[in-house]
Amino acid sequence: MRANEGHHHLSGGNVVSFEKLAVLFGGSAEAVTQTTDMVGEFYTNLLSELTAITEHQWRADSPRGLIKGFMLSGPPGTGKTTMAKRLTYELGRKFQAEDEDAPPVVMAFIDGGEISRSRYGESEERIRDIFMHAKSGFTAAGQRSVLLFDDVESIFMSRGSQHAKEWHFSQDSVFFHSIDELDTTKSIIVLTSNRPDLIDEAIRDRFLSYTVDYPDLDTLIQMIAQIPVLQELSGSEHAAMKDELVKAVKKGEVRSMRDAQRFALRRYVAKLLNRKSMALEHTD
C-alpha cells in the first residue's frame, strides 16, 4: 500500500497505523467501547488481560521480558484477528495519550502467503526483515508495534506433521532466534491459529496460549445489535431478528461471530428487497 495512505509495506507484510485503527474502532475513547467487535464478558476480559501484560512489559526497564507474546487458538470467525487489532488500538490510545509526539503504535500483519517463498532462503530473509523493522521502528525510530502472525500453522508447521518440509524447519529456527532477541519494551507478538496442533510445539511453548471459542448467545445478540447499519431496523424488527437468531443458534446454524454477521446481513438485505435475497447461503 502507498506510504501516503498511512501504511508501510515490508517484504513480510503490511503495517496498519494507529490512525487507521482509530477509524476502524470508532475514532475516540468514548466511541471505542460501542463497536461491534468487542462485546461480551469473555472478549472484554481477554482484551483487558492482554493489554495489561503488554503495557507492563512496555513500561519495564528490561528489554528481555518473560512474555514474548500470545497465541490465540480457536475456530474460524471467533474474533482472534480482531482481538489483535483491538489490542494494538488500546495500546496506542494509552501510550499516545501520554505523549502526542510519539510515533503511533502499529500492527504489522504478517500473512503466511507473504512469508512462504520458493527461492531458497527467501522466507527466512522475510522473517528477519520483519523483526529488524520491529527493532528499529516500522515508520519511525523507537516505534512500538504488535506483530500479528495470522493463521500461523501455515508458516511454522510442527516437525512431526506429514505436511512439513525441510524449509519449514529452517523458518522455525529463524523465528526461534528472532523471538529470543525480541525487545519486549517495544514489541509484542500475537499468533492466531485454527489448528494449533499443526504448529511446532517449541513455538507454542514460547507464548501464553488462549482458546477463543464460539461466543455464547448473549454475546452474539449484543454484537448484532451494535452493527451500525441495523440501527435502521425498528424495535419490533430487532425483536423478531433476535428470536430468529436464538432459533438459529439452537439449531447450530449460527455459531461464530462471522456466522452472526452473515445472519444479520441476510435479514437486512431481505428488508431492503422486501423478499429473501438470491445470494448464496454459506454454511461453513
Model confidence over 38-51: pLDDT tens digits?
788 999 999 999 99
Q: For all residues of the chain together, what is the average pLDDT?
A: 80
Start-end of H helices in the chain: 18-24, 41-58, 80-98, 112-115, 122-136, 166-180, 201-204, 217-225, 235-251, 257-273
Distances in Å between the alpha carbon of 121 and those of 66, 124, 126, 206?
Answer: 29, 5, 9, 24
Give strand pairing partners of 199.
Answer: 157
Residue 36 CB-density burial (10 A; 0-12 exposed, 13-18 middle, 19+ buried): buried
Question: Residue 69 in 3-state DSSP?
Answer: strand
Query: What DSSP character marks residue 139?
Result: S
What span, in angstroms and rounded, lies between the C-alpha atoms of 242 and 159?
46
* Helix, coil or strand: residue 26: coil
Residue-wise pLDDT tens digits, 163-221? 445 445 677 788 888 999 999 999 999 999 998 888 878 788 889 999 999 999 999 88
Q: Which residues contact 32 (CB under 8 A, 6 or more apart)?
A: 25, 26, 89, 93
Count CB atoms within 10 A of the CB of residue 21: 25
User: pTM to 2 decimals?
Assistant: 0.82
Instruction: Output the pLDDT for position 113.
Output: 64
Query: Please, are residues 207 and 71 in contact by the beta-carbon 8 Å criterion?
Result: yes
**Dihedral of alpha carbons 116, 117, 119, 121, sign:** negative
Radius of gyration for the alpha carbons in the chain, expressed in angstroms and rounded: 20
Quick one: cell of 113? 502467503
Burial of 249 (0-12, 13-18, 19+ CB in 10 A): buried
Identify the architecture of domain 3-211 in CATH: 3-Layer(aba) Sandwich (3.40)
Question: Is pLDDT at 160 greater than 60 in this prediction?
Answer: no
| pLDDT at residue 209 in the model | 95
pLDDT digits (tens, 9 = 90+) for 228-269: 667 677 788 878 888 988 999 999 999 998 898 888 888 888
Task: Output the pLDDT for position 205.
Answer: 84
Distance CA 220, CA 258 (A): 10
Q: Residue 279: is its pLDDT beyond 80?
A: no
* Cα three-residue angle 268-261-88, rounded to 5 degrees: 130
Report the range of poorest mean pLDDT among 31-35, 72-76, 154-158.
Answer: 31-35
Cβ proximity of 21 and 89 under 8 Å: yes
* pLDDT for residue 274: 83
What is the pLDDT confidence band of residue 71, given thresholds at 50, 70 and 90?
very high
Query: Phi first, then psi: what are they for 71, rounded to 5°?
Result: -115, 125
Percentage of residues in the chain having pLDDT higher than 70: 76
For residue 213, give the C-alpha cell.
471459542
Compute the C-alpha angle 47/103/148, nearest 5°: 40
